[in-house]
Amino acid sequence: MDIQTLSLRSRDLARQQAFYAGTLGLDTERTGESRLHVHVGTTLLEFVHDPQFAGFYHFAFTVPENQIAEAREWLGRRVTLLTDGQNQELFHSPQFNTHNVYFDDADGNIAELIARHDLPNASTEVFGAGSLLHVSEIGLVVPDVAQYVQHLSTRHGLQPYKGESDTFTAVGTSEGMFITVPEARGWFPVNRPAPCAPFELVARTPRGTFRYTHHCPAQEVSP
């Protein structure tokens, strides 16, 4: 699943623009008073102003698979890296063959830089804002993980990626995936309880263009 656009809610577009443009150095643009576009490699990340929005999101940006050390150093000069309570800032998942670092953006979203070692995207370029290649994860908070994973498979042809459980299932591919969890499960590494948060997504899949809108409260689904 190649995520082309991801649209999220934001309480404060000015602070988000200052963060993504000023702190991270990404290209941004305002479209009217209610929308902010952030260009993250091949993905358009959009924030839509909603002063009543009280939730937060988890999402991830892929970086070159051989540059997680450079990513950690670059990011650590700009933000406070999130830890697991034991001062660990760099994490490794043998299951997913990744290394990860985490941070909060200006709205309190838990964002992540992730090096996916299964992808042939190694780089010799100096690490910078342009090394954020695309959005590759968005947290999907639902009432019943197993039921929703079955729905995504039957209706949309999206399959679990490297295992599944009732509390955490990645659905999609290494290029792009939903991280499907139940409400109130703690997001790694800070264990902040996951709220349902509405979003819209457009992606390319083997079946063609995939458009998805997530509503909250999330609805029970059937295959």
| Sign (positive or negative) of CA dihedral 76, 18, 177, 44 | negative
pLDDT digits over 113-142, tens only? 999 999 999 999 999 999 999 999 999 999
- pLDDT for res 34: 96
pLDDT digits over 193-218, tens only? 999 999 999 999 988 999 999 999 87
- pLDDT for res 222: 57
Phi-psi region of 86 (alpha: psi -120 to 50; beta: other; left: phi over 0): alpha
Q: How confident is the model at residue 223 (pLDDT cuts 50, 70, 90)?
A: low
Residue labelled with tokens 């992730």: 114
Sheet architecture: strand order including 43-49 = 27-31, 35-40, 43-49, 2-10, 199-205, 208-214
Give the contacts of 188 (CB within 8 A, at least 6 positions apart): 84, 91, 102
Domain ranges of the chain: 2-214
Domain 2-214 grouped into CATH 3.10.180.10: yes
Neighbours of 86 (CB within 10 A): 6
pLDDT digits over 11-32, tens only? 999 999 999 999 999 999 999 8
Distance of alpha carbon 207 from its chain centroid, rounded?
22
Measured CA to CA, the distance from residue 49 to residue 8 in angstroms comes to 9
Does the pLDDT of residue 2 top 80, yes or no? yes
- pLDDT for res 207: 87
Name the average pLDDT for the chain: 96
Does the pLDDT of residue 187 top 60, yes or no? yes
pLDDT digits over 42-81, tens only? 999 999 999 999 999 999 999 999 999 999 999 999 999 9
Does the pLDDT of residue 144 top 60, yes or no? yes
